[in-house]
């Protein structure tokens, strides 16, 4: 069945529908990764968004539970060039079409995604809708759509839970946690407590963490309350801290830096990153709509550790006075290159040094 993707600037892209036959509205962004569609659509950072994929074919790997980055996807739509209706995954548990139907998410295929992505790269993120008829009524509905900034509240855990291990006790502040972070902590045998971002400072310190992680998450970091920044300012003085993705942006804000919205969001796994101190280069996955403003960094308080070689944007920060640092990139290799996993090794080395010094 033919369906239509309409953008708020009046552009219309027509394709064949798959997934749920639902009408949907949301912000549309594009992803340049050539693999990892399941990890991407289940990543909480895309809550409320539609994703246009640059990969030529999606669906050939089917769906398998171990690739999920959250309990269920919360995207609003998926746009691909071609759809593989038969899974080549040896497990053959579920195909992509059925997976999207299960969560009432519509998709479009046989879309000229090269043209669409080129358009979005030039125009930046826009509101969009997937509809049966691209008529005036559909455009009126789209223009009237109001996108909220409640993605963190929608995706973060409302209650604390444990992911037990026999190693160091790591507290994860959940802003929309992707499961890849928990997998990395499990690789280091960490004893993990995942807490809502609304947890008080005293409640966190009562748990006596050996280290603290500020998780990834969706939405505009400036929409979170000032209490979150106060939380970070206090906790970074109490235990080693690592911020990832949204956690990196909040770490920067808490330490006086400002953020700038990108004209076109960066989503993909092919971004070359350079570590400043060693000059080493590796590729990493990214999903970002904001970047730390170079001009606003207090260099007496923080220094830059990583940069993106495409746009020279800041990809990592470290505090000069406390064992606290952050990275914009996703360092868990889910999906994508695993070279950035060294970030977690650095974090656990910092934790061990800190525990030894304070024991």
Shared-domain flag, residues 36 and 119: yes
Task: Give the mean model confidence (pLDDT) for residues 332-344.
Answer: 89
Using the 3D structure, point to which of 113, 147, 181 is the last residue of a domain: 147
- d(C-alpha 4, C-alpha 78), whole Å: 12
Shared-domain flag, residues 126 and 11: yes
Shared-domain flag, residues 105 and 167: no
What pTM value is reported for the model?
A: 0.95
Has residue 160 got a pLDDT over 90? Answer: yes
Least trusted range by pLDDT, from 10-19, 259-268, 313-322: 259-268
Q: Which residue has the higher pLDDT, 75 or 86?
A: 75
Shared-domain flag, residues 218 and 140: no
Shared-domain flag, residues 262 and 313: yes
Count of the separate structural domains present in the chain: 2
Has residue 90 got a pLDDT over 60? Answer: no
| Per-residue pLDDT, 116 | 97
Shared-domain flag, residues 205 and 288: yes
Shared-domain flag, residues 63 and 130: yes
Shared-domain flag, residues 106 and 204: no
Using the 3D structure, point to which of 147, 170, 205 is the last residue of a domain: 147
Shared-domain flag, residues 140 and 286: no
Among candidate residues 154, 149, 148, 150, the one with its CA nearest the CA of residue 70: 154
| Per-residue pLDDT, 89 | 55
- d(C-alpha 311, C-alpha 46), whole Å: 22
Cα torsion 293, 294, 298, 300: sign: positive
| Per-residue pLDDT, 85 | 75
Shared-domain flag, residues 173 and 57: no
Using the 3D structure, point to which of 123, 147, 171 is the last residue of a domain: 147
Check: CB of residue 79 under 8 Å from CB of residue 52. Answer: yes
- Output the average pLDDT for the chain: 93
- d(C-alpha 133, C-alpha 221), whole Å: 35
| Per-residue pLDDT, 143 | 77
| Per-residue pLDDT, 87 | 61
Task: Give the mean model confidence (pLDDT) for residues 30-50.
Answer: 95
Which CATH number covers residue 235?
3.40.50.880
| pLDDT tens-place string over residues 341-354 | 999 999 999 999 99
| pLDDT tens-place string over residues 291-322 | 999 999 999 999 999 999 999 999 999 999 99
Shared-domain flag, residues 124 and 163: no
- d(C-alpha 283, C-alpha 285), whole Å: 7
Has residue 142 got a pLDDT over 90? Answer: no
pLDDT band at 141 (very low <50, low <70, confident <90, very high): confident
DSSP 11-53: -EEEEEEEE----EEEEEEEE--SS-HHHHHT-GGGTTEEEEE
| Per-residue pLDDT, 92 | 58
| Per-residue pLDDT, 246 | 97
pLDDT band at 135 (very low <50, low <70, confident <90, very high): confident
Which CATH number covers residue 53?
3.50.30.20
Range of the domain at 95: 2-147
Task: Give the mean model confidence (pLDDT) for residues 38-67.
Answer: 93
| Per-residue pLDDT, 335 | 86
Shared-domain flag, residues 292 and 336: yes
């Amino acid at each position: 069945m033919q369906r239509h993707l309409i953008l708020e600037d009046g552009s219309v892209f027509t394709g064949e529908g798959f997934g749920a036959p639902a009408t949907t509205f949301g912000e549309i962004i594009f992803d340049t990764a050539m693999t990892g569609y399941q990890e991407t659509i289940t990543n909480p950072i895309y809550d409320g968004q539609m994703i246009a994929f640059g990969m030529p074919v999606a669906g050939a790997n089917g769906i398998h539970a171990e690739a999920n980055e959250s309990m269920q996807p919360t995207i609003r739509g998926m746009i691909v060039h071609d759809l593989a209706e038969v899974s080549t995954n040896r497990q053959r548990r579920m195909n992509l079409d059925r997976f999207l139907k299960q969560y009432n998410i519509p998709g479009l295929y046989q879309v000229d995604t090269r043209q669409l992505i080129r358009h979005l790269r030039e125009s930046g993120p826009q509101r969009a809708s997937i509809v049966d008829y691209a008529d005036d009524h559909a455009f009126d509905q789209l223009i009237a759509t109001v996108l909220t900034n409640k993605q963190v509240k929608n995706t973060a855990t409302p209650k604390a839970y444990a992911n037990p291990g026999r190693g160091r006790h790591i507290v994860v502040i959940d802003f929309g946690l992707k499961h890849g972070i928990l997998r990395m902590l499990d690789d280091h045998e960490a004893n993990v407590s995942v807490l809502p971002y609304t947890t008080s400072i005293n409640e966190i310190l009562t748990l006596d963490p050996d280290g603290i992680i500020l998780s990834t998450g969706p939405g505009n970091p400036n929409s979170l309350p000032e209490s979150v920044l106060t939380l970070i300012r206090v906790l970074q003085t109490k235990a080693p801290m690592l911020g990832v993705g949204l956690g990196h942006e909040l770490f920067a804000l808490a330490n006086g830096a400002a953020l700038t919205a990108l004209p076109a969001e960066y989503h993909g796994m092919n971004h070359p990153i350079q570590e400043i101190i060693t000059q080493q280069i590796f590729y990493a996955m990214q999903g970002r709509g904001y970047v730390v403003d170079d001009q606003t960094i207090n260099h007496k308080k923080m220094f830059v550790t990583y940069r993106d070689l495409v746009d020279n944007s800041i990809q990592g920060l470290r505090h000069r006075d406390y064992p606290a640092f952050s990275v914009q990139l996703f360092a868990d290799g889910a999906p994508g290159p695993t070279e950035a996993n060294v970030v977690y090794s650095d974090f656990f080395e910092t934790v061990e040094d800190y525990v030894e010094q304070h024991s």
